Chains A and B, each alone.
Chain A
């Protein structure tokens, strides 16, 4: 009787998952394998595809723009980890305890995350405008002779685009950190108080270690989204000037849809996935272990 019930329940579990599973398989799982197949071919994708083996992957090795995009993507990840993460933690710490105006500040810093990134790109393109943009206009107003072309200059473009992205994207990690800070047991902090710890010690020795899960989550989501960065670059510079802000994602798109090198573009996408595996696999193992751990409790 019990066994029969279990079998029935198991069958209905599959039935409940079926509709989503069909869509998921056709939109994500199948295209991954199809992409792998395409990456071993050359051609425009619509007409004849010619099998070329690993040639697309070999070609990457001698393609300077590919290496540039890879380096820019890695720089972008480094900037996200070294700047976005601490800054969003700072925002969260400042806005954790109740004080007048807290809701306003939280709302303001989160607000850019709800705007289309393309719109953010347009706004910042205007801010960085060398003749009429607000930054250079302000410099002129205070009598400074310093002018910068920001996104039109290879030296400054990456950092300028990154700042626009920081303005846009701080809200999400800030909220994750706020949730993490709120989950820290106040009694533990009181215990530290009694032991004579000061504010800074409490923060680094008690709060941060207790927020381990939050840090893992923020780090992984930030790295994953940095790896995929596309919209903001597309809207601000489209990889220019002279590939100085080219990312793997923009380069993949340009190769595929602008130059019609479908096989090569897809091979770049496969490389993106392989690099992301370095982050994803440990994260999934961590999540799965947490999930099993909770069940065992």
Chain B
């Protein structure tokens, strides 16, 4: 009986702590949504915690058109859609070689490919901007896309090789006996089996690319080509004090990501855990 009571108390205590933490975690989100729908008058007449008198839709339409959020999102989408699948494919090829083909000093190669994940991007900023200036790659999608692939390789190799290591070698041998080449084995046997890892990678890398700021801010400075994070910073520069408008812009930028997250939530929490095991 005593143990049962103790267990109950613990369970209640756990919920109290969790709810308290959840409230703290929700405050910024509510602040964002509340601010985004408030009109300018509401700001100066009411208290921040008071409800908006009406929903100010013009904040959103202004952010999309005058604030160029729509354009930024389109640019970001183009780059992410191009970069993510290609990056995954190239990294999966590396992992195929690392885990399934004869290779001297396998561990050395793995470490070599992983180092990029740990180095600060700052180390490459100046050389990239100098080279890009010479090659006229500043303000091009290709320029940004190329460095994104380079910086993404390490993490993708880490995840894909971790998964491919667990696929039994007998599967490849069966494919070779059936007369498949190495390329065919990779594309039509190993890649399909790796789908769970690739799906998780697709979603996490899509978000990482969508949200990347530092490289994009160095390579892109043309307003017509900016991605969402760089665009948001421009937005702050232009409307630093108009928080209703600013929060509407942030909210608009966050909504697509939120939708992706809600649909694929399991891939994040369960999938990420699986990917790193």
Contact = CB atoms under 8 A, between A and B. Distances in A.
14 contacts: A12-B101, A17-B94, A28-B119, A94-B18, A114-B257, A114-B268, A116-B211, A118-B211, A119-B232, A119-B253, A123-B250, A126-B243, A230-B213, A276-B118
Interface string A213-235: 00001000000100110110011
A178 interface: yes
Given A20-B90, A116-B210, A119-B232, A27 B146 contact: yes
Interface residues of A, number: 96
Interface in A277-292: 279-280, 283-284, 287-288, 291-292
Contacts of B276: 175-176, 179, 217
B4 interface: no
A268 B126 CA distance: 12
Given A20-B90, A27-B124, A280 B150 contact: no
A296 B129 CA distance: 44
B211 A117 contact: yes
Contact of A116 (B35, B49, B93, B253): B253
A287 B111 contact: yes
Interface stretch (A31-39, A50-58, A78-86, A148-156): A31-39
B77 interface: no
Contacts of B48: 132-134, 137
Contact of B147 (A27, A217, A266): A27
Contacts of B113: 20, 24
Interface of A: 6, 9-10, 12-14, 16-17, 19-21, 23-24, 26-28, 30-32, 34-35, 38, 45-46, 91, 94-95, 99, 101, 103, 105-112, 114-120, 122-124, 126-127, 129, 132-134, 137-138, 140-141, 167, 175-176, 178-179, 182-183, 217, 224, 227-228, 230-231, 234-235, 249, 252-253, 256-257, 262, 265-266, 268-270, 272-273, 276, 279-280, 283-284, 287-288, 291-292, 294
A109 B83 CA distance: 28
Given A46-B130, A108-B22, A134-B27, A115 B211 contact: yes
A119 B11 CA distance: 36
Contacts of A179: 272-274, 276-277
Given A99-B11, A108-B26, A118-B232, A28 B49 contact: no
Contacts of A127: 27-28, 31
Interface residues of B, number: 91
A269 B127 contact: no
B180 interface: no
Contacts of A108: 22, 25-26
A10 B90 contact: no
Contacts, number: 264
Nearest to B148: A27
Contacts of B98: 13, 17
Contact of B94 (A20, A279, A294): A20
Given A27-B128, A46-B130, A123-B32, A132 B269 contact: no
A287 B111 CA distance: 8
B189 interface: no
Contacts of A294: 165
Contacts of A32: 119, 123-124
A37 B42 CA distance: 56
Given A123-B250, A133-B48, A231-B213, A17 B109 contact: yes
B91 interface: yes
Interface in B95-112: 96-98, 101-104, 107, 109-111
B84 interface: no
B207 interface: yes
Contacts of B182: 9, 12, 16
A116 B102 contact: no
Contacts of A38: 126-127, 130
B120 A276 contact: yes
A256 B126 contact: yes
Interface in B150-193: 150-151, 153, 157, 165, 182, 186
A28 B116 contact: yes
